[in-house]
Structure 1
Amino acid sequence: MNASQRIPLHMLLGNYPSTQALKDGTVRSDLVELEFADVPRPNNAFKRVVRDFEFDVAELAIITFLMAKARGKPLVLLPAVMIGRFQHPYILYNAERGTLSPYELNGRRIGLRSYSVTTATWVRGILQSDYGLDLASVEWTTFEEPHVAEFVDPPNVHRAPAGKELMQMLLDGEIDAAIVGDGAKSDPRIKTLFADPAAEAQAWHSRNQAIQINHMVVAKQSLLDTHPEAVREVFRLLEESRRVAASSGGKAEPAFGLEANRRNIEVAIDYCVRQNLIDRRLSVDELFDDVTRVLGA
């Protein structure tokens, strides 16, 4: 198939070691022609994925996908994890104002970018399940609306006043803790809520036998209906790009494949249900279709 016959696909994909070979053309396809969106941080375009269906294939936060899927959005999951990490390092407090433990958050004020983002959902789930946090007792301060338009924030979620910044509010004592996606800041006053995040993460993993997925890959249902072979090819390209990165000494990445991620997704669904982000317990299998379910098997 020559270039003019390849299936054109508009794709949202971040810049990672595992995607470099695909994005720089080292890994190529005779079947699809990928046009990558000029979006340095994919999370800045997640609303475009679930509201406008702008991309044929897209990296997407798992919680945003689950919320969209539960509301009937025509997106199908591929068993391809782009980011998976433990979230314990991403809730911070200002130690200058006294110590704070994960058991002391009921009735407190916590700031975060948006209530339903994936990092915040994982952190709330950890605190709710393992430390007895009553989510309804917290005053949540946000800065952005949800990615999924139909979701309405709980009544104890309030938007920060115009001009406010999350970390400055933490330093000024206007909030007691902050969930920050890029982790601890250089200011010596800022500490992680968990004194030893790595040990807490290992303990969580032992209890749950899962990892905390951030981003996976989705495809539009219309693409799967018309060109299922294109979706299979995108998955192959993602796998090949990961192999190139691994051969160059790259870090181990989360496994691809449905069964390798079934437990991870089950825990994500459970956290969504317990936090009322979705109104029914989705099954893992309904997130995929007959094409994507077997990818990587």
Structure 2
Amino acid sequence: MTDLPVLRTVLGDYPHTAPLKNGDVRSARVRLDFLPVAPIHRAFAPMVRDAAYDLCELAVVTALQAVAHGRPVVLLPAVVAARFQRGCLIAHASRPVRPEELKGKRVGVRSYTQTTGMWVRAHLAEDYGLAARDVHWITREGAHVAQYADPAFVTRESHAASLPDLLRAGTVDAAVLGNDLPEGDEFVPVFPDAAARDRQWWRQHGFMPVNHMVAVAASTCRENPAAVREGYALLRRADAAAARADGAPRPTLFGWDRLRGPLESVIDACLAQGLLPRRLSPEEVFGPAREVLGSDAD
């Protein structure tokens, strides 16, 4: 086992990654060396700026920006995290606000490039005709891809206060939160019937909004393509091993054919929001991975 190729790996804790982390799913051809990074988004900048890992979870907006700006990563056709997003836009219960009232308002989000924020803005445009530029976005962090600059309607205010604290103080009218969404009744969703509308969206589009995919360092693809192919195979095997109710929305998605439509939806939303410098084609995004994976990418 000590002679196996090793892939330095960063993946979040999910039911479909647990078989990899606990050793239930393993390979005789490669070993995944899991590195602890929490929260997971702290791995994104080192990956797209310095290729700090061999195999790494990556937010889809960050991944597309990395491709557009020629960063040294290769995006695999593997979605490892997806979720419904409308419930992630919240307001303080003492100052509720409706989506159509957000024009000209201040809305907080960790970063303008955060994928959850991208989806919330896409839903605001789809449901209420509210464009990204119609809102004053208040951010606390910049982009993971250093070459990207925020649009003029985005203001970075590196407050010590958290987004919930900014809501409590009335500094922002609403805020986008993801895995750190607070519990309790102090905050209320901005989208009415968010869960029902999300399920309707899923029935219409056939996939959950994509959050995180998996990328590989370009140097690893060049130096050890066989290990990359085996790493991708392990991701698919672990996903198959995770129990999931039939017919339920899936937080995972694999393969070029199944990902083409979802990826085009994300690209459209990114272009509308000023997140990409130009239109990317799915072939450009996944071409390098298809060269490495061959038929396994289908």
Rounded Cα–Cα distance in structure 1 between residues aligned with 2:18 and 2:207: 27
User: What is the CA distance between 1:185 and its match in structure 2?
Assistant: 2.3
Confirm or deny: 8 A CA contact 1:258 1:294 kept in the other structure: no
Unaligned residue ranges in structure 1 (runs of 5+): none
Alignment of 1:174-253 (within 5 A): 174-182=171-179, 184-246=181-243, 252-253=250-251
Is the partner of 2:150 in helix, strand or coil?
coil
Rounded Cα–Cα distance in structure 2 between residues aligned with 1:248 and 1:96: 38
Return closer, same or farther for 1:277/1:286 CA change in 2, 3 Å cut-off.
same
Matched, 1:35 2:36: no
Is the partner of 2:112 in helix, strand or coil?
coil
Alignment of 1:36-185 (within 5 A): 36-97=34-95, 99-182=96-179, 184-185=181-182
Is the partner of 1:175 in helix, strand or coil?
coil
- 1:286 corresponds to which residue? 284
Q: TM-score scaled by structure 1?
A: 0.92
Is the partner of 1:17 in helix, strand or coil?
coil
- 1:270 corresponds to which residue? 268
Rounded Cα–Cα distance in structure 1 between residues aligned with 2:265 and 2:223: 32
Rounded Cα–Cα distance in structure 2 between residues aligned with 1:286 and 1:115: 24
Confirm or deny: 8 A CA contact 2:121 2:131 kept in the other structure: no
Structure 1, 259-268 or 240-249: larger mean CA deviation: 240-249
Return closer, same or farther for 1:233/1:124 CA change in 2, 3 Å cut-off.
same
Task: String of CA shifts for 1:94-146, please: whole Å, max 9, x gaps.
Answer: 2312x422111110000011110110111111112331213223221111121
Confirm or deny: 8 A CA contact 1:210 1:263 kept in the other structure: no
Alignment of 1:20-31 (within 5 A): 20-31=18-29
User: What is the CA distance between 1:187 and its match in structure 2?
Assistant: 4.0
Rounded Cα–Cα distance in structure 2 between residues aligned with 1:269 and 1:43: 20
Alignment of 1:248-259 (within 5 A): 252-259=250-257
Residue type of the alignment partner of 1:295: D
Rounded Cα–Cα distance in structure 1 between residues aligned with 2:115 and 2:244: 30
User: What is the CA distance between 1:281 and its match in structure 2?
Assistant: 0.9
User: What is the CA distance between 1:33 and its match in structure 2?
Assistant: 2.0
Rounded Cα–Cα distance in structure 2 between residues aligned with 1:13 and 1:122: 22
Is the partner of 1:76 in helix, strand or coil?
strand
Confirm or deny: 8 A CA contact 2:77 2:256 kept in the other structure: yes
User: What is the CA distance between 1:69 and its match in structure 2?
Assistant: 0.5
Count matched residues: 293
Select which of 4, 8, 28 maps to 1:10.
Answer: 8
Rounded Cα–Cα distance in structure 1 between residues aligned with 2:245 and 2:93: 41
Task: String of CA shifts for 1:42-66, please: whole Å, max 9, x gaps.
Answer: 2121111111110111110011000
Identity of aligned residues (%): 39
Task: String of CA shifts for 1:17-74, please: whole Å, max 9, x gaps.
Answer: 1111111112222211221111133212111111111011111001100011100112
Confirm or deny: 8 A CA contact 1:209 1:263 kept in the other structure: no
Structure 1, 284-293 or 223-232: larger mean CA deviation: 284-293
User: What is the CA distance between 1:208 and its match in structure 2?
Assistant: 4.0
Return closer, same or farther for 1:104/1:60 CA change in 2, 3 Å cut-off.
same
User: What is the CA distance between 1:246 and its match in structure 2?
Assistant: 2.0
Rounded Cα–Cα distance in structure 2 between residues aligned with 1:118 and 1:221: 23
RMSD: 2.1
Is the partner of 1:142 in helix, strand or coil?
strand
